[in-house]
Amino acid sequence: MPVTLTVTDASGNSSTATATVTVQQPSVASTPSLIWTGNTNTDWSECSNWSFGMVPSATHNVIIPAGLSRYPSLSAGTATITNLTGTVQTTRDLSTAGTRYTFGNLGLALTPAGTTLPGSTTIRRVTGTALTGQGTSVSIKRYYDIQAATNAGLNVALEFGYFTTELNGMLENQLMLFRSSTGTAGPWQPIGYSSRNATAHTVTTTGVDHFSIWTLDQPSNPLPVELMSFTAQAQGPDALVQWATAQEKNNAYFVVESSADGVRFQPLTRLKGQGTTATRHDYQWLDVKLARYQSTVVYYRLRQVDQDSSEQFSPVQMVQVKAQSSAFEVYPTELADNYLRYHYNSTVTSDALLTVYSAAGQLVLRQQGSTRASGKLALPTLPVGWYFVQLTSSGHHYTVRFYRP
């Protein structure tokens, strides 16, 4: 390419000449790996985003470092390279049930079903990095961070692809899916698998209800107990306490504890654990007659005890105690006239007895033999003060009070 060069010295003297400049791209042999810099934007096909100013081709290895402010994005289509180490992301609109979305062949396929669909979904694939779990447990050198516009109530089949160079010493016939909803540091929930395909190098699971961070590992070093859920819900006058574990290691037993003030907990029952298992188990306990707590709220927690007697506690759950209607009521509790209305929410027997006493214990009124569950009593003129009404029926005694202004 011919150019014109002008050289000027310090005294202002200049000389101009024509020269030929040859520009040559670095050869593939001299640049076996291209590094993403993201200097300009997130466009994969922009050469200024790459080292050597070259967009990778099928003969290049690609490295995408961590800690960058911009990562490459493929808005459509595919990019063919030899191998990729690092981070890449793309977005697709998952708006059609039954359609298999492959995200530009980044190794992840999602097939939504049902009426609740994820919508706009971004996946970020990170390769060359293994994530750590409990003890010495590590993942393969690949994980996906999946972010969807709708991320609850889903029903999605997830197919996780990998290269054998990423196995990190693991056996393909032992791989299973793990999910973390809180970040790459875990905790990790084992999801298992629906199918494995060692030829296609994929692990698939179905019924995924929400997205998060996903990787592959083998269940050789599980957490002591991975608690999937712990709930307590009112069921009429009782409370149903339920929990589920994704896996257990050396788990001796669980203790369900309750408290009326959220501070002082007492054991309710003890349920045997599963020892060591990599499969899900569900537990429940019914706490009957919440009225015995004499509190509007009852608190529950779970104490898990290992075989070496070490223990850990679950988060605390609370149950609102529904106020029970009194069996015998009078109204209004502050008299407006000389009549006292009453209601008994059961059958009044023929031997029923209604009595009214003053606060000093003096009998004011006695009525026996009424079979009416609701009615009113004509009271004599009463001095100002508190009075007690007692109903006796079938050997049961009910006492309430009212005020005479």
Q: What pLDDT score does 59 carry?
A: 83
β-pairing, 33-35 with 61-64? parallel
Among 52-61, 115-124, 251-260, 372-381, where is mean pLDDT lowest?
372-381
Q: Please report the sign of the dihedral spanned by the C-alpha atoms of residue 300, residue 305, residue 309, residue 312.
A: negative
Report the pLDDT value the prediction gives residue 25, as an integer from 0 to 100: 58
Round the CA-based radius of gyration of the chain to a whole number and report it.
37
Greater confidence (25 vs 211) lies with 211
Q: Find, among 234, 77, 218, 101, the residue nearest to 158 by Cα.
A: 101
Summarised one tens digit per residue, pLDDT across range 226-275 is: 778 889 998 888 899 999 988 888 889 999 999 887 778 899 999 999 98
Most confident of 89-98, 214-223, 341-350: 89-98
The pLDDT assigned to 372 comes to 65
> How far apart (Å, rounded) are the C-alpha atoms in residues 348 and 175?
69
Q: Residue 221: pLDDT above 60?
A: no
pLDDT band at 312 (very low <50, low <70, confident <90, very high): confident
- Write the CA distances from 253 to 163, 222, 260, 283, 309, integer angstroms: 41, 17, 24, 11, 10
| Across 14-23, 152-161, 209-218, least confident range | 14-23
Q: Is 50 exceeded by the pLDDT of residue 222?
A: no
pLDDT digits (tens, 9 = 90+) for 125-139: 998 888 887 556 789
pLDDT tens-digit readout, 315-339: 788 888 765 555 677 777 777 788 8
Q: What share of the chain is helix, strand, coil (3-state, %, to 5)?
A: 5, 50, 45
The whole-chain average pLDDT of the chain stands at 82
pLDDT, residue 192, reads 79
Lowest mean pLDDT among 37-46, 142-151, 187-196: 187-196
> What is residue 223's predicted lDDT score, i.e. its pLDDT?
44
**Mean pLDDT, range 169-193, rounded to an integer:** 83
Q: What is the C-alpha separation between 343 and 375, in angstroms, rounded?
A: 7
Token pair belonging to 368: 């026996």
Render the burial of 71-107: b for 16+ CB within 10 Å, e for the rest: bbbbeeeebeeeebbbbbbbebebeeeeeebebbebb
> Looking at residue 339, what is its pLDDT?
83
Distance CA 40, CA 188 (A): 36
Tokens of residue 130, six digits:
């293994």
CA atoms of 120 and 89, how far apart (whole Å): 13
Whole-angstrom Cα distance, residue 205 to residue 196?
A: 9
